[in-house]
Amino acid sequence: MLRREELAQAKRIVVKVGTSTLTHATGKLNVGRVDRLARELTDLVNQGKEIILVTSGAVGVGIDRLGLKERPRTIPEKQAAAAVGQGILMHIYEKMFAEYGQIAAQVLLTREDSVKRSRYANSRNTLLTLIAMGVIPVINENDAVAIEELKIGDNDTLSAMVASIVDADLLIILSDIEGLYTANPQTTPDATLISTVHDVSPEIEALAGGAGSTLGTGGMHTKLQAAKIAVSSGVPMVIATGTRDGVISAIAAGEEIGTLFVSRENRLQIRKRWLAFGARIKGSVTIDSGCERALADGASLLAAGIQTANGSFKAGDTISIMNLTGREMARGIAYYSSEEVARIVGCHTNEIADILGYKSYDEVIHRDNMVILG
């Protein structure tokens, strides 16, 4: 089981900073904090670490420059604010990093870069090349062009996907909260910080509240979703406050700060990692408890264990596998369409040909095309 002090061995670290960390309560950029961030990350690179920075703040900076009184509500307005803010934010990062002799490179990603297998591989190659050159990639979702269907959705999820893509040793998410609490600390004074989470269970997910900032998009819920991606990819993750000076170095040194989400021991293969977290989900099936146990033991998904087919998907699409409690426990590539699955649910393999008039495969999802999420 991973111990805190083992985090000191992490070489490749992805750091995500939220809008609330980068800005003052007024909404204006906290230049001093950006400077300290650049200095700290540069020092880690000087120690031999490989650093990737995932940053929020483009929309917030754009809002400030445009003189808007509140966060835009429509996608075109957000895109316009991002288009203004991205250049300003990157210019500030470049200036701050250059003060410490560090090269930074802007990388803008959309969900298409993780959905399409070729783009996923290209993103990985580009990022690995940059860090091999000693460059710090500064990554943001390409808000200026992404439409809602293509957006990764928040930079917490983006940072976890980046950590997965590059085989990071550690993901650090900095926010305006110390970590995951037993209850909302803003409304429950006796709420206590949870130091370590070994499984992002439904009970843990239930602890998530709403968004903590009017400037950012992410709350604890998005951070827990990021944790599920990270730990399933073999990447430990720490949530901590971004207001404390030296917090990144302290976490990287193994100090007990924030909440540590312990990764699974076996890292997913790159193809399965893309399958689990890059491919767009087109539908789902619900399975019985016996089938759930069989899949956890390494079996393929057969029609006999399926209770319902949900949504509309084609053969070759990636779908979710849900248990009876509604929890997603696996994902995989379906050999049959949703219409076909609906006709063969609960049937034995030798009955498929009689029902459909043909049988392309014995399995609905083969185990080689499936990844267990938990």
Please tell me the predicted confidence (pLDDT) of residue 217.
38
Average pLDDT, the chain: 86
**Length, in residues, of the chain:** 374
Average pLDDT of 337-351?
95
Q: Which pLDDT band, with edges at 50, 70 and 90, does 271 fall under? A: low
Please tell me the predicted confidence (pLDDT) of residue 146.
52
Q: Which pLDDT band, with edges at 50, 70 and 90, does 242 fall under? A: very high
Q: Above 70 in pLDDT, residue 374?
A: no
Average pLDDT of 237-257?
94
CATH T-level fold of 4-271: Carbamate kinase (3.40.1160)
User: pTM, whole model, 2 decimals?
Assistant: 0.75
Please tell me the predicted confidence (pLDDT) of residue 234.
84
Q: Each residue of 229-238: pLDDT tens digit?
A: 888 888 999 9
Between 307 and 57, name the one with better pLDDT: 307
Q: Which pLDDT band, with edges at 50, 70 and 90, does 74 fall under? A: confident
Between 69 and 99, name the one with better pLDDT: 99
Q: Each residue of 190-201: pLDDT tens digit?
A: 889 999 999 888
Average pLDDT of 88-114?
88
Q: Which pLDDT band, with edges at 50, 70 and 90, does 56 fall under? A: confident
Q: Which pLDDT band, with edges at 50, 70 and 90, does 94 fall under? A: very high
Q: Above 50 in pLDDT, residue 86?
A: yes
Q: Above 60 in pLDDT, residue 167?
A: yes
Q: Each residue of 292-343: pLDDT tens digit?
A: 999 999 999 999 999 999 999 998 888 999 999 999 999 988 999 999 999 9
Average pLDDT of 2-23?
91
Tell me how far apart the alpha carbons of residues 313 and 273 are, in angstroms, rounded to a whole number. Answer: 21
Cβ contact 54:139 at 8 Å: yes
**Class of domain 281-372 as given by CATH:** mainly beta
3-state helix, strand and coil shares in percent for the chain, rounded to the nearest 5: 40, 20, 40
Tell me how far apart the alpha carbons of residues 275 and 18 are, in angstroms, rounded to a whole number. Answer: 27
Average pLDDT of 115-143?
81
What percent of the chain is modeled with pLDDT above 90? Answer: 50
Please tell me the predicted confidence (pLDDT) of residue 55.
93
Average pLDDT of 49-66?
91
Tokens linked to 214 = 């009017």
Q: Which pLDDT band, with edges at 50, 70 and 90, does 168 fall under? A: very high
Please tell me the predicted confidence (pLDDT) of residue 268.
59
Q: Above 60 in pLDDT, residue 100?
A: yes
Please tell me the predicted confidence (pLDDT) of residue 211.
43
Q: Above 50 in pLDDT, residue 212?
A: no
Average pLDDT of 69-97?
89
Write out 5-38 in H/E/C secondary structure: HHHHHCCEEEEEECHHHHECCCCCECHHHHHHHH
Strand order in the sheet with 50-55: 104-109, 136-141, 50-55, 12-17, 170-175, 237-241, 259-261, 196-197
Tell me how far apart the alpha carbons of residues 171 and 16 are, in angstroms, rounded to a whole number. Answer: 8
* Domain segments of the chain as ranges: 4-271, 281-372
What percent of the chain is modeled with pLDDT above 70? Answer: 87
Tell me how far apart the alpha carbons of residues 66 and 56 are, in angstroms, rounded to a whole number. Answer: 17
Tokens linked to 210 = 């709403």
Strand order in the sheet with 318-322: 306-311, 281-287, 318-322, 328-333, 370-372
Tokens linked to 73 = 């509500």
